[in-house]
Amino acid sequence: MNLKLPIYLDNAATTAVDPRVAEKMLPYLSEHYGNPASGTHGFGRTAARAVDEARGEVATLLNADAGEIVWTSGATESNNLAIKGAALANQARGRHLVTLKTEHKAVLDTMKVLETQGCTVTYLAPGADGLIDLDTFRAALRPDTILGSVMLVNNEIGVIQDVAALGAACRERGILFHVDAAQATGKVPIDMARLPVDLMSLTAHKTYGPKGIGALYARSAPHVRLEAQMHGGGHERGLRSGTLPTHQIVGLGECFRIAGEEMPLEVPRIRALRDRLWNRLRDLPGIVVNGSMERRIANNLNVSLRLERGDTLMAALTDIAVSSTAACDSSGVSHVLQALGNDADAARNSLRITVGRFNTEEEIDYAAHYLRRRIEDCRAGRLRNLSDLVPTNS
Ligand SMILES: *Cc1c(COP(=O)(O)O)cnc(C)c1O
């Protein structure tokens, strides 16, 4: 067997940079290093052209206009700019926001900050399948609501929210609608010409691009008013100052170009791998899938195992890189699984396995066999001592 271990199955946390993306980025580090804002010479103009091209690629993937794309450092910053920026720009109209309990911490923690500044936030619980009910969402909208924020794809359980319907409910009432789409690009089609969405957060590193670069889509018609959160220099139409990182932007453009081009073939291939894995695990006693299996992206499997000592299992999984949703939350328990009505124990004993572009059938077969063996070991109490070997750096 010439498998390279450990096998990376944590593509929801981050992905490898596609070699084609890395190759396209390289010349912009030591050759075309001009400042895209330097219009007086060729160095600057070459960089500016690359930035323009990348802006076009990002816009193309969303079926949006290039002028609606604002570069940021990633989806965390985009969420901050969208939510704080909209709240500040619209505070004369109202100070109420609506979101879900299952959002990423970059949304939830931003909302918490706004609460300390006089805003009121409603945190809605989705159903047991992870999906928010439209009537529940609608009922939470008030005359003083200025923004709804719902993620397109959940990062833990991979469920796809009906942002078209939720956005329409907001638009009927003149409420802005923001979507965190960090996990969606290259996995579900996004058409901003049809979606009633005003703001959308994007990032490169979940879609085979580099870390530290992202974008915020901000609709131009009807124009979305935002207050900048970063000042100095007035880059990006004053919405986000800071010298543009040309190589990073080129990387984002290229990974989104590839995503758009390859999605029709890649999604079914990855779904087949995910289903292959699930079919090899589904008869394990007590195993349950978290979240809707139907309205779910192709690469995500999130299961609860009802193990007595689930922590020993995680520690023993040395041949595969997966995530216990526990690792994402400082509390040690997944806030997403708890919001779905799971008790802390089930929320703790969960595994998120996310397949990616570079995984092979052989890797999936190995991972399935390996996981089964380790889970059986865990059940039989054979892993108990292993946890003692793992350093407990909190
Ligand atoms: C990864 C992720 C983020 C954070 O994105 P960064 O680019 O790492 O800042 C935000 N929201 C969701 C849903 C994510 O999966």
Same domain, 215 and 271: no
Pick the residue whose CA is nearest to atom 9 on ligand 1: 76
Domain assignment present for residue 300? The answer is: yes
Dist. CA 317–CA 20, nearest whole Å: 31
User: What does the DSSP 8-state code read for residue 326?
Assistant: G
pLDDT band of residue 386 (cuts 50, 70, 90) is low
Residue 276 predicted with pLDDT over 70:
yes
Q: Residue 307's pLDDT is what?
A: 81
**Average pLDDT value for residue range 84-95:** 97
Dist. CA 3–CA 262, nearest whole Å: 25
Query: What is the b/e burial string over 168-186, where b = at least 16 CB atoms within 10 angstroms of the residue's CB?
Result: bbbbeeebbbbbbbbbbbb
Q: Is the distance from the beta carbon of residue 151 to the nearest atom of ligand 1 less than 6 Å?
A: yes
- Check which CATH number belongs to the domain holding 374 and give it: 3.90.1150.10
Q: Is the distance from the beta carbon of residue 74 to the nearest atom of ligand 1 less than 6 Å?
A: yes
Q: Residue 327's pLDDT is what?
A: 46
Domain that holds residue 295: 7-15+264-384
User: What does the DSSP 8-state code read for residue 65?
Assistant: -
Domain assignment present for residue 199? The answer is: yes
In this prediction the pTM is: 0.95
pLDDT band of residue 389 (cuts 50, 70, 90) is very low
Domain assignment present for residue 165? The answer is: yes
pLDDT band of residue 205 (cuts 50, 70, 90) is very high
Same domain, 291 and 365: yes
Q: Give the number of the atom of ligand 1 that is nearest the alpha carbon of residue 204.
A: 7
Closest to 324 (Cα-Cα) out of 353, 344, 297, 299: 353
Q: Residue 29's pLDDT is what?
A: 97
Q: Residue 280's pLDDT is what?
A: 97
What does the longest C-alpha to C-alpha distance in the chain come to? Answer: 71
**Average pLDDT value for residue range 256-282:** 98
- Check which CATH number belongs to the domain holding 120 and give it: 3.40.640.10
Per the structure block, which two tokens stand in for 345? 């124990």
Q: Give the number of the atom of ligand 1 that is nearest the alpha carbon of residue 77.
A: 9
Q: The tokens 């901000």 sit on which residue?
A: 218
Same domain, 273 and 221: no
Q: Residue 391's pLDDT is what?
A: 47
Q: Residue 26's pLDDT is what?
A: 98
Q: Is the distance from the beta carbon of residue 266 to the nearest atom of ligand 1 less than 6 Å?
A: no
Name the amino acid, one letter, at 120. T
Give the residues across from 130 on adjacent strands: none
Q: Which of 170, 255, 328, 378 is catalytic?
A: 328
Q: Please give the share of the chain, as a percent, with pLDDT higher than 70.
A: 95
Cβ contact 324:128 at 8 Å: no
**258, 282, 306 — which closes off a domain?**
258
Domains in the chain, number: 2
Which helix (H) or strand (E) element contains residue 77? helix 75-89
Dist. CA 342–CA 234, nearest whole Å: 47
Same domain, 238 and 283: no
Domain assignment present for residue 389? The answer is: no
Same domain, 129 and 236: yes
Same domain, 161 and 253: yes
Q: Which of 165-169, 335-339, 377-381 has the highest mean predicted lDDT (pLDDT)? A: 165-169
Cβ contact 354:12 at 8 Å: yes
pLDDT band of residue 390 (cuts 50, 70, 90) is very low
**242, 258, 274 — which closes off a domain?**
258
Q: What are phi and psi of 69, to 5 degrees?
A: -105, 125
pLDDT tens column, 218-248: 999 999 999 999 999 999 999 999 999 999 9
Same domain, 169 and 273: no
328 is catalytic: yes
CA of 109 to the centre of ligand 1 (A): 13
With the most atoms of ligand 1 within 8 angstroms of its CB, the residue from 111, 183, 255 to mutate is 183
Q: The tokens 């910053």 sit on which residue?
A: 77
CA of 51 to the centre of ligand 1 (A): 22
Domain assignment present for residue 337? The answer is: yes
Domain assignment present for residue 1? The answer is: no
Per the structure block, which two tokens stand in for 166? 């939720």
For residue 6, is the peptide bond before it cis, meaning its omega torsion is within 30 degrees of 0?
yes
Same domain, 244 and 316: no
Q: Residue 216's pLDDT is what?
A: 98
Same domain, 193 and 247: yes
pLDDT tens column, 181-203: 999 999 999 999 999 999 999 99
From 29-43, 62-76, 337-351, 366-380, the region with the lowest mean pLDDT: 337-351
Same domain, 226 and 110: yes
Pick the residue whose CA is nearest to atom 7 on ligand 1: 74
Q: Which residue has the higher pLDDT, 334 or 126?
A: 126
Domain assignment present for residue 42? The answer is: yes
| Average predicted confidence (pLDDT) for the chain | 93
pLDDT band of residue 370 (cuts 50, 70, 90) is very high
Which helix (H) or strand (E) element contains residue 138? helix 134-140
Q: Residue 384's pLDDT is what?
A: 67
Q: Is the distance from the beta carbon of residue 158 to the nearest atom of ligand 1 less than 6 Å?
A: no
Same domain, 225 and 333: no
Same domain, 276 and 198: no
**205, 240, 258 — which closes off a domain?**
258
Domain assignment present for residue 98? The answer is: yes
Q: Residue 331's pLDDT is what?
A: 62
Name the amino acid, one letter, at 57. E
